Amino acid sequence: MYYLSEQQRVLAEGARDKACPFGEDINLDAYIHDPDHDQVPTYDELVAEERETLVKAGFDVGDHDRAASFLQVNHAIGHCCRKVEGVEVMPMRQALELYDSLPEYWWQAVDVDADKYTAKVALDFDNGYFIRALAGTKTTLPVQTCLFMSSEKVLQNVHNIIVVEEGAELEIISGCATSHQMKQGLHLGVSELYIKKNARLSFTMIHHWGEEVVTRPRTVVQVDEGGTYISNYISMKKVRSLQMYPTAYLRGRGGTVRFNSVVAAPAGSHLDMGSRVYLSHPECRAEVISRAVSFGGDIVARGHLVGEDPAVKAHLECHGLMLSRRGLIHAIPELEGRAAGVEMSHEAAVGKIAREEVEYLMARGLSEEEATSTIVRGFLNVAIEGLPASLQKDLDELMARSNEGGM
């Protein structure tokens, strides 16, 4: 409560039961939020137990080739270190203390009363990370973060802020994962990203949740003049329910944003996800590319581009591949031109693998299974380049299952 103004608190209280228009409405009371009594493993214990899981979420436990690392386990900070100058990485609570509640950034992009999930994070805030690249800093190594859940039925409320100051360039790999022993859990994550003038942020988020986990990330990105935001989102593993609609506001001339997402939905997964971009200044550019593969799970792939200045360009692409007789892929691309002269386009396609392509590869010696896997991998690789080796392995395992479900 300390971290909310009275007005924010009233708004959050009023939104306690405010359902989100998208995705399943989650009963928050079904999860346990008890930071004082939660048994959180130490970083060393966790590393021994969950090394592989962390690696699959893109987290290098030895901090090798990383500019900084941040790990939160349930409600507690598991690990936080920094190896380079010019980049601040610290727990959110520490940043709020240090910088007088960060009035420029704290709840300035995301509304506390957007829905019951933002309200919950506001009212029962655990922690999160604060990352800032100071003006002009250009790091060659990425910062890594991981939000980890390890207790059964745990509710994790996280609030993150990332600031990339003028002229700075930063790369972040952010993993979200659960202990292999844990089945159910709820992750609520508010992220506010501020890309200042001529700054650049590449943000790769890898979800590696437990099969019965529910997650509701809430992300808003503000991009100033000449700034660039690149988001890569990857989720290859079953997750019971994910709903998110990250939104970027291009607030100055020449702002650029690209959302790439690659998701696979095994049977039992329900993903409702998309990206929204407001282009309100000249020469702003946006590209939203998604690749969705259903192995029997449900995927709603949304996208919404709003052109508010005549000199903007934007493109939206939702491609889906059905690899099972069951499951759903529902592509919902939306374009909203609010000024004469906008150039906005979209393409959406949902289908199965073309038999002709499979046999073409078989005619070069691949078995039917190998040919199918190769095509699916290619389909997904369109959006994400340079996938870490550990993720590629996950992807390969999924591919091997591509003939399940009556293909």
Partner 1 sequence: MLTVEDLWVDVGGKQVLKGVNFEIPDGRTHILFGKNGSGKTTLLLTLIGFSAYEVVQGRILFKGIDITRMPVNERVQLGMGVSFQRPPAVRGLLTRQMADICNRSGADYKELAERLNFTDFLDRELNVGFSGGEMKRSEMLQLMLQKPDFIMLDEPESGVDIENMHLIGKVASELLERHLNRTRKRSGLIITHTGYILDYLNADLGYVMIDGAIVCSGNPYQIFSTINEKGFEECANCTI
Residues engaged in binding partner 1 (CB under 8 A): 354-357, 359-368, 371, 374-375, 377-382
Residue 398 Cβ vs partner 1, minimum distance, rounded to whole Å = 15
What is the rounded CA–CA span in Å between residue 304 and residue 318?
A: 11
Task: Determine contact, residues 245/302, Cβ cutoff 8 Å.
Answer: yes
Q: Tell me which amino acid residue 360 is.
A: Y
Residue with smaller CB distance to partner 1, 190 or 316: 316
Q: Residue 84 Cβ, how far from partner 1 at the closest point, in Å?
A: 32
Of the pair 147, 375, the CB lying nearest partner 1 is at 375
User: Considering beta carbons, is residue 25 or 360 the nearer one to partner 1?
Assistant: 360
Smallest distance from the beta carbon of 317 to partner 1, in angstroms? Answer: 11
Of 341 and 378, which has the nearer Cβ to partner 1? Answer: 378
Q: At what angle do helices 116-123 and 6-14 cross, to 10 degrees?
A: 140
Write the CB contacts of 96 (distance below 8 Å, at least 6 apart in sequence).
3, 102, 106, 130
CA distances from 263 to 27, 38, 207, 332, 337 (A): 25, 32, 10, 16, 28
CB of 361 to partner 1, least distance (A): 7
Nearer to partner 1, 183 or 346 (CB): 346
d(CA 264, CA 138): 33
- Name residue, tokens 């609010």: 338
| Burial annotation 313-343 (CB, 10 A radius, 16+ → b, else e) | bbbbbbbbbbbbeebbbebebebebeeeebe
Closer Cβ to partner 1, 182 or 234, answer by number: 234
Query: 369 — alpha (psi -120 to 50), left (phi > 0) or beta?
Result: alpha
Give the nearest distance from C-beta 200 to partner 1 in angstroms: 25
* CB of residue 148 to partner 1, shortest distance in Å: 31
Work out how close the CB of 356 gets to partner 1 at its nearest, in angstroms, rounded to a whole number: 5
In the complex with partner 1, the residue whose CB is nearer, 224 or 287, is 287
> Considering beta carbons, is residue 201 or 293 the nearer one to partner 1?
293
Q: Tell me if 216 sits within 8 A of 117, measured CB to CB.
A: yes
Output b/e per residue, 255-275; b: 16+ Cβ within 10 A. Answer: bbbbbbbbbbbbebbbbbbbb
* Number of neighbours of residue 218 by Cβ within 10 angstroms: 24
CB of 291 to partner 1, least distance (A): 9
**How far apart, in Å, are the Cα atoms of 293 and each of 124, 311, 375?**
35, 34, 12
